[in-house]
Amino acid sequence: MNKKFTATLLAVGLFVSALAQEKVDQAAVQKIRKEGLENSKVMDIAFHMTDVLGPRLSNSPGLKKAQDWAVKQFSDWGLKNARLEAWGTFGKGWQIDKYYAATTAPFYKAIIASPKAWTTGTNGPIKSAVILIKADTVSDLDQYKGKLAGKIVMLDQSNVQPLKNSYKPDATKHSDSTLQAMAAATLGGGGQRRAAAPAAMSAMMRQRANRAAIAQRLQEENVGLLLSFARGNHGTLFTSNGASYALDAKPASPELEVSAEDYLHILRLLRAGHPVELEADIKTSFFAEDPQGYNVIAEIPGTDKKLKDEVVIIGGHYDSWHAATGATDNAAGSAVMMEAMRILKAIDFKPKRTLRVVLWSSEEQGLFGSRGYVAKHFGDPKTMVLTKDQKKVSAYYNLDNGTGAIRGVYMQGNEAAKPIFEEWLSPFHDIGAKTVTLGNTGGTDHLAFDAVGIPGFQFIQDPMDYGTRTHHSNQDTFDRLDAEALKRSATIVASFVYHTSERAEQIPRKPLPQAPDAKP
């Protein structure tokens, strides 16, 4: 037999044998399960984040208040180095101080809506007939020049269609077949988000530029209030950003994102020639005194002489949108990560490696908090110039897909770690967590770590009604949280953190990514 082939077989055999010997500390798991499932504080944590502290829009007073609360909570639990750490410049904060709107003709009806983030207020109560504007391009607005000052307007958009009933349930859980398909995924498949085709991306950019130009013209005309159509139904509206948060951004017109039912009601009346009158009073505030963005950080220091400088990091983004209290996006993930640290502290765990929890800010605007933190501490993904601390991170674990229970782990293509995680999930098969997929889910903070070669993982969660009802919506409230699911998730995270800390070796790493401009 070829000696080189024999050596390869031997290496593979040793690798498989080593993975097969991956240990689970059953005694520790039982302690973690007892504390996490029987003495849980996760819903109390989530209650304070949502009902008590409210919305946590990036750089808003609400977020800053919630960050101060989290630092104090970590300190009260006995975690060390609890603090706020700046990751870079974000821009202006913003909040809603007052909002009211209703149609007064043809009859009185308060409408379900939300001011768009970073838009101005109405400078006191206003009342006006609603003017329906047909404008697909900026030039279509020429006929309205000088006629819109102080008026309430809405655009007659051809893409606004009547609502249709859906016969699918709002909330779902992963079926066995779905989880089996995830587990069978190979490298390059299984949940990874595909980039938009160039033609589609170009069309989207043109549409975005056209909308921006129309908004700019309406601002120049000094409209009193703009009504826009919000995605959603059954009184749910999915809110969005209405203007720039940059320090030098020009003011944008007051704008209400109106629920589909109320918007379509007004639109049908105006199209049929029936006048509609609306009154509104909106007050918003901007905050530019401190444009820095901050993350919340706290630790349980390591105790092993050789391993205490290494780190296991967990996190979730703490910022939210403003139309509700950001319960599933992402008080749920933040509360789970806080609870996981509380569990480990409560069982008096003395980790070998240092355990660090980070609550990110400005994830909603582009993963800014995690990317800024990674760039500051571990390296630049654009150049792949890395710091010495990059090698000290064993793994990063993230939670940011709503309230659904953890069902497994997305491996981000890390084949060597897959059998390790399969063993670590084995004590939790009874609560539905057993799927490990080589695939990935995109769009959240584990990507910042993966981009510089640190093993970064997002957990698989049941979808629940995240995409249909709560994600970025006015329904994202405490009532949408699943207490049992959050208890289970915090327990599983705590166990993963425990085993990552105590493992003789770090979590295996994939080959380092190449810098985007590196030559092959």
pLDDT at 196 > cutoff 70? no
What pLDDT digit, counting tens, does each position of 241-251 carry?
A: 889 999 999 99
Q: Is residue 2 part of a domain?
A: no
Residue 482, token pair as written in the block: 């699943």
Domain boundary among 253, 287, 321: 287
The CATH number of whichever domain residue 386 belongs to comes to 3.40.630.10
- Confidence tier at 140 by pLDDT (50, 70, 90): confident
102 shares a domain with 161: yes
217 shares a domain with 201: yes
CA proximity to 486, closest of 74, 37, 33, 30: 37
324 shares a domain with 448: yes
What pLDDT digit, counting tens, does each position of 21-37 carry?
A: 799 999 999 999 999 99
Residue 332 has phi, psi (to 5 degrees) of: -60, -55
Q: Is residue 517 part of a domain?
A: no
| pLDDT at res. 7 | 41
pLDDT at 5 > cutoff 70? no
84 shares a domain with 101: no
pLDDT at 137 > cutoff 80? yes
Q: Is residue 175 part of a domain?
A: yes
Number of residues written out for the chain: 520
Domain boundary among 287, 317, 345: 287
Please name the residues in contact with 182: beta carbons below 8 A apart, sequence gap of 6 or more: 190, 191, 408, 435, 437, 439, 460
pLDDT at 3 > cutoff 50? no
- Confidence tier at 208 by pLDDT (50, 70, 90): confident
pTM for this entry: 0.93
227 shares a domain with 335: no
Residue 57, token pair as written in the block: 């829009």
202 shares a domain with 170: yes
212 shares a domain with 101: yes
- The predicted model gives 161-189 an average pLDDT of 89
Range of the domain at 413: 22-90+291-502
Q: Is residue 434 part of a domain?
A: yes
- Mean pLDDT is lowest, of 121-125, 217-221, 413-417, for 217-221
Residue 509, token pair as written in the block: 């790493």
- Confidence tier at 499 by pLDDT (50, 70, 90): very high
CA 305 from centroid of its chain's CA atoms: 36
- Helices (runs of H) and strands (runs of E) counted in the chain: 12, 18
What pLDDT digit, counting tens, does each position of 387-405 carry?
A: 999 999 999 999 999 999 9
Q: Is residue 200 part of a domain?
A: yes
- Confidence tier at 13 by pLDDT (50, 70, 90): very low
What's the mean per-residue pLDDT of the chain?
A: 93
Asked if residue 384 lies in contact with residue 518, where contact means CB atoms within 8 angstroms, the answer is yes
157 shares a domain with 128: yes
Domain boundary among 248, 272, 287: 287
| pLDDT at res. 191 | 45
340 shares a domain with 466: yes
Asked if residue 22 lies in contact with residue 419, where contact means CB atoms within 8 angstroms, the answer is yes
Q: Is residue 514 part of a domain?
A: no
pLDDT at 115 > cutoff 90? yes
Q: Is residue 425 part of a domain?
A: yes
Distance CA 487, CA 114 (A): 32
203 shares a domain with 65: no
| pLDDT at res. 175 | 96
Number of domains in the chain: 2
Q: Is residue 159 part of a domain?
A: yes
- The predicted model gives 216-222 an average pLDDT of 91
322 shares a domain with 234: no
| pLDDT at res. 485 | 98
Range among 15-19, 208-212, 288-292 rated most confident: 288-292
163 shares a domain with 239: yes
**Amino acid letter for position 18:** A
The CATH number of whichever domain residue 233 belongs to comes to 3.50.30.30
